[in-house]
Amino acid sequence: MAQIAELRKTVGESSWFVRDRFGMFIHWGLYSMAARHEWVMHHEKIPPQEYEKKYFSRFDPDLYNPQAWADAACRAGMKYFVITTKHHEGFCLWDSKLTTYKATRTPAKRDLLRPMVEAFRKRNMRVGLYHSLIDWHHDQYVIDPHFGPLRDHPDREKLNQKRNQAKYAAYLHGQVRELLSNYGKIDVLWFDFSYPKPNGSGKGHQDWQSEKLYKLVRKLQPGVLLNDRLDLPNAWDIKTPEQVVPRQGVVVDGRPVVWEACHTFSGSWGYHRDEQSWKSVPQLVELLIDTVSKDGNLLLNVGPTSRGSFDERTMDRLNGIGQWMDVHAKSIYGCGAAPAEFPVPQDCRLTWNAAKKRMYVHVLTWPFRHLHLDGFKDRVEYAHLLNDGSEICFHKDGHRGLNFKGLATPETLTLELPVQRPNVTVPVIELFMK
């Protein structure tokens, strides 16, 4: 069997990452109270003082139960999680010593991050921390014309005269030091985001002092996996396409790289009460399958309510995915793209477990009686449906017993399928390869 091109090596430890494949993203902050987008401060141009006055003193997540969050993620088959320690609004979930704009100063009166980390670890899930490079609340953060509530303020330049981006960068580095020093081993660090502009009006590596920040990260947590948003050409482990489905595995400079697609259930990342564009369970399962079939991970986002719970729409999706994963997880964990020598059958996706020599055929549209696998002749020892372990017979001459021509090539293997589609979200056929 032909060898798959070797992945670009990562500085952080990625062997677990490319095995586990499926994680939970969590966006939670004051914006969950507005319940109409995590960028509400930007979209509605709410001044920082007004935003703080309206939400900060009323943030009271009395239903917060991190064990329940970890249970829900585990039920869905997720193996790691990434939590927004601070989003662009500047509010911090942990008891940072560098600011008063934090959960411990709200009615919550406690560090919300620590019990979450502990709860997910108890479920044997890896820990990831998201941290916004951007901070629309900090008084030293220079206001630019692109993002933030004050971007169009008539006195923006005057307001910036009292601001010093280098002082903000020191604050940014100090908070990263806290997070990487006080919460045990961190498996993923997810910075967000840089937006340099040719005229210098955006923000990039110089504004964050990214070179220095990168060295700090590697010093404190050498094995952490780092994403690609520091605006440094080679200081990353994973590529992170957002809200898109790549047509193929992600390649940089001609080499495949470790990558992770991050997606929402609907459109917003934070809790959005009125959003009606929620993906169905079949869409989400197919998204997971499609991502893994291209050697990627799926980081699927949850936006908890301001009271600290997952709403019924979220639980419905997580439970639905989990029901499929209960019997099909073998086609996801430890799997990746199939070798190029195996063409993808019509209306299917292939995943491949090289260690076990198993090929998984995910049948997105159930055909009538036969599934033709070009290039698989003499390559398969045994086949069965993954959901119930029932044998799938196969042969090498097109439709056996029928004198039809042109239905199969000389290298085609034809699977004999039951007429009735298995009652699962996406049926999977496991092929034991020679």
Average pLDDT of the residues in 248-263: 97
pLDDT band, residue 410 (cuts 50/70/90): confident
Angle between helices 281-292 and 312-328 (to 10 degrees): 50
Instruction: Give me 67's structure tokens.
Output: 């064990």
Average confidence score pLDDT of the chain: 96
Average pLDDT of the residues in 259-267: 98
The pLDDT score that the predictor gives to residue 411 is 85
Judged by DSSP in three states, 50 sits in helix
CATH number belonging to domain 15-331: 3.20.20.80
Task: Tell me the percentage of the chain whose pLDDT exceeds 90.
Answer: 95
The pLDDT score that the predictor gives to residue 86 is 99
Average pLDDT of the residues in 313-327: 98
**pLDDT higher than 80, residue 406:** no
Q: How far is CA 396 from CA 66, 158, 323, 363, 371, in A?
A: 53, 77, 34, 20, 12
**pLDDT higher than 90, residue 432:** yes
**Strand partners of residue 353:** 358
Each residue of 21-76: pLDDT tens digit?
Answer: 999 999 999 999 999 999 999 999 999 999 999 999 999 999 999 999 999 999 99
CATH number belonging to domain 348-433: 2.60.40.1180
Instruction: Give me 305's structure tokens.
Output: 């309510």
Residue for token pair 């303020």: 153
The pLDDT score that the predictor gives to residue 396 is 78
Q: Do domains 15-331 and 348-433 have the same CATH topology?
A: no
The pLDDT score that the predictor gives to residue 372 is 94
CA atoms of 138 and 247, how far apart (whole Å): 39
**pLDDT higher than 90, residue 157:** yes
Instruction: Give me 381's structure tokens.
Output: 């020892």
**pLDDT higher than 60, residue 400:** no
**pLDDT higher than 60, residue 15:** yes
The pLDDT score that the predictor gives to residue 180 is 99
**pLDDT higher than 60, residue 384:** yes
**Extents of the domains making up the chain:** 15-331, 348-433
Each residue of 285-308: pLDDT tens digit?
Answer: 999 999 999 999 999 999 999 999
Average pLDDT of the residues in 110-129: 98
Judged by DSSP in three states, 384 sits in strand
The pLDDT score that the predictor gives to residue 146 is 98
